[in-house]
Structures are given as structure tokens and as C-alpha cells.
């Protein structure tokens, strides 16, 4: 664990007030927000609101929260399936109301009810725009049947649909979830769909070398795709924390330790274009991605 709890470092940025605005240079303030969700959805929503208000006060136009932000128990049992809601349910509506009130885009992990299946649910990311509307969703594609876990017992894998991309102040944003980070094809498909920034809400389980894997994979996905990447993890005791924002050259623009908190970074479309001119790897590649 990092010794500096709730520490962060931010890319130099112009001042921004409540709600924030993209700068004339094509910059966008994005916040990573991390906490440890519990089996109390109301308390989780309160923590999301607290962190979102803090992020917006620092100029953020987009705030990214962890996987399972809505409701979480260390063992994925019937309690989580019972807590699942449709995407027009109370929790997502509350996220939309908060996004609209604050004038900010919010992304968080929720438990989505699967019609006709009371024992399983979808591990879903939702994106609410600054008017409170649901503008994109992502259902986790690669389930965590690894490191002694068996997520597929309770979670329905997402279909391999075309990525849902949404725009924030001219920046095109895509999403993927946690274990998907170990599969480079997921990020590549999202970037091929036009994403400038990829969001990775996660519940990255602690274990030997897991913090090393988390950071290494986040940097690799950003570098190999010449894309911005923002990964928001749950905090201990189950997950590692260590949320971070990475630029297309693999530079960490903002990072957190193991405590709940928020870090803000400014991302730049000019920087993205300059990196892709210098390193046109996306244009030079000779292989594509084939769905199985």
C-alpha cells in the first residue's frame, strides 16, 4: 500500500468553478473517485454524492466511480442478486438526478436485474450526462473466473455488442470493467469505435502482485492504444484502490492511494493528436480483432 493515504497529483490545469468547463485548448477535467461500497445502497449513494460534489468543486466535468458502486458484498451471493434493479430503477434515477443537479457526467457500476432470472444479475456500468440522462451502458464481458473466484455463478456476461460511446465536451468516451483490463482486445475495440478516453471502473481484488498487475495493465492499455485511460477501483479491504488516470504516452496524470478520495486530471485532445502523429501505431497495425 502507498504510505500516503488519499494522496494525489494533478496535471497542471486552468482554473474551473462549479460544474467546470472544457478549456479553449480542448482540455477536459476528469475525476477518479474511489471508495469501498457496502450492502447499503443508500449509504453508497451518499458517498457517491459526497465525492461527486468534491470533484465538481475542483472543476471536474466527468466523475468515474468503481465497479459495484451501487451495492457490494465480498461474496457474490443471493443478496446481490436481490439488490439488482432495472436501469430505470431507483438507483440509476438517483444518479441521474445528482448528475443533473451538479451539471456533471457520472459513471458508476450497478447491479442490473436480468428478466426471468432471480439468481443472477448483470454487472453493468452506466453513464449519466450532465442533464441526468442515461447515455451509455456497458455490461462486463469477461467475468472474474480466476484467482480462486467464480463471478459467473452470479453474473451474466455481457453480449459482444458494439461499444456505446458518449461525448463529454467533444471528448469521445468508452467504458469497460475490471477483469476486462486483462484482455487487450476489449480496449482495442472501444478505441476502434472512436474513443479518446477509456474508463475502467473496477473491484480489483487484492492479492500477491495484484497491485502491480493493476498499474501495469492500465499503463499498457493506454500506451498500446494511444488513448487516455481512467481506472477507478474500490478501496480496501477487498480491493486495492490505487485509482489512476493515464495519458496516451503512459504518463500518470493523477493517482490515489488506498483511502477513499478523489483525484482530478486534465486531458487534452491536442495531446492525443500529437501522440498519434508521433506514434501512429493504430494506423500501422496489421491485425484486427475477431469476436469469438
Give the pLDDT confidence of 205-262 residue by residue, as tens digits: 999 999 999 999 999 999 999 999 999 999 999 999 999 999 999 999 999 999 999 9
What angle is formed at CA 136 by the lines to CA 132 and CA 141, rounded to 5 degrees?
Answer: 140
Give residue 18's pLDDT: 44
Give residue 25's pLDDT: 53
Q: Is 60 exceeded by the pLDDT of residue 135?
A: yes
Give residue 26's pLDDT: 74
CATH architecture for residues 27-280: 4-Layer Sandwich (3.60)
Q: Which of 27, 178, 203, 258 is catalytic?
A: 178
Tell me, yes or no, if 67 is annotated catalytic.
yes
Give residue 253's pLDDT: 98
Average pLDDT of span 142-154: 94
Neighbour-count burial of 190, counting CB atoms closer than 10 A to its CB (0-12 exposed, 13-18 middle, 19+ buried): buried
**183 versus 21: which is more confidently predicted?**
183
Average pLDDT of span 171-175: 98
For the chain, give the percent of residues with pLDDT over 90: 90
Q: Is 50 exceeded by the pLDDT of residue 116?
A: yes
Boundaries of every domain in the chain: 27-280
Q: Which of 85, 112, 140, 224 is catalytic?
A: 140
CB 112 within 8 A of CB 140: no
Average pLDDT of span 37-62: 98
What pTM does this model have? 0.91
Neighbour-count burial of 282, counting CB atoms closer than 10 A to its CB (0-12 exposed, 13-18 middle, 19+ buried): middle
How many whole angstroms separate alpha carbon 13 and alpha carbon 266? 6
Give residue 19's pLDDT: 53
Give residue 2's pLDDT: 31
The DSSP symbol for 250 reads S
Q: Which of 47, 67, 85, 211 is catalytic?
A: 67
Tell me, yes or no, if 178 is annotated catalytic.
yes
Would you call the peptide bond into 237 cis, given omega within 30 degrees of 0 as the criterion? Answer: yes
Amino acid at each position: 500500500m502507498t504510505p500516503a493515504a488519499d494522496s494525489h497529483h494533478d496535471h497542471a490545469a486552468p482554473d474551473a468553478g462549479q460544474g467546470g468547463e472544457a478549456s479553449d485548448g480542448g482540455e477536459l477535467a476528469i475525476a477518479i473517485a474511489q471508495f469501498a461500497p457496502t450492502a447499503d445502497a443508500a449509504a453508497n449513494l451518499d458517498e457517491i454524492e459526497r465525492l461527486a460534489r468534491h470533484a465538481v468543486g475542483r472543476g471536474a466535468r466527468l466523475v468515474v466511480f468503481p465497479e459495484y458502486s451501487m451495492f457490494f458484498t465480498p461474496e457474490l451471493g443471493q443478496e446481490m442478486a436481490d439488490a439488482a434493479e432495472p436501469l430505470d430503477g431507483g438507483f440509476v434515477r438517483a444518479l441521474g438526478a445528482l448528475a443533473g443537479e451538479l451539471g456533471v457526467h457520472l459513471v458508476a457500476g450497478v447491479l442490473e436485474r436480468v428478466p426471468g432470472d432471480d439468481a443472477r444479475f448483470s454487472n453493468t456500468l452506466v453513464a449519466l450526462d450532465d442533464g441526468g440522462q442515461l447515455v451509455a451502458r456497458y455490461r462486463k464481458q469477461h467475468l472474474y473466473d480466476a484467482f480462486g473466484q467464480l463471478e459467473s455463478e452470479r453474473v451474466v456476461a455481457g453480449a459482444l455488442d458494439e461499444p456505446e460511446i458518449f461525448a463529454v465536451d467533444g471528448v469521445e468516451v468508452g467504458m469497460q470493467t475490471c477483469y476486462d483490463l486483462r484482455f487487450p482486445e476489449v480496449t482495442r475495440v472501444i478505441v476502434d469505435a472512436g474513443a479518446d478516453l477509456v474508463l475502467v471502473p473496477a473491484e480489483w481484488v487484492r492479492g500477491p502482485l495484484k497491485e502491480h498487475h493493476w498499474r501495469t495493465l492500465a499503463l499498457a492499455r493506454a500506451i498500446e492504444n494511444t488513448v487516455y485511460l481512467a481506472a477507478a477501483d474500490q478501496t480496501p479491504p477487498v480491493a486495492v484502490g490505487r485509482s489512476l488516470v493515464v495519458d496516451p504516452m503512459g504518463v500518470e496524470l493523477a493517482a490515489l492511494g488506498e483511502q477513499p478520495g478523489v483525484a482530478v486530471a486534465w486531458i487534452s485532445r491536442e495531446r492525443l493528436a500529437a501522440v498519434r502523429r508521433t506514434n501512429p501505431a493504430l494506423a500501422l497495425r496489421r491485425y484486427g480483432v475477431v469476436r469469438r
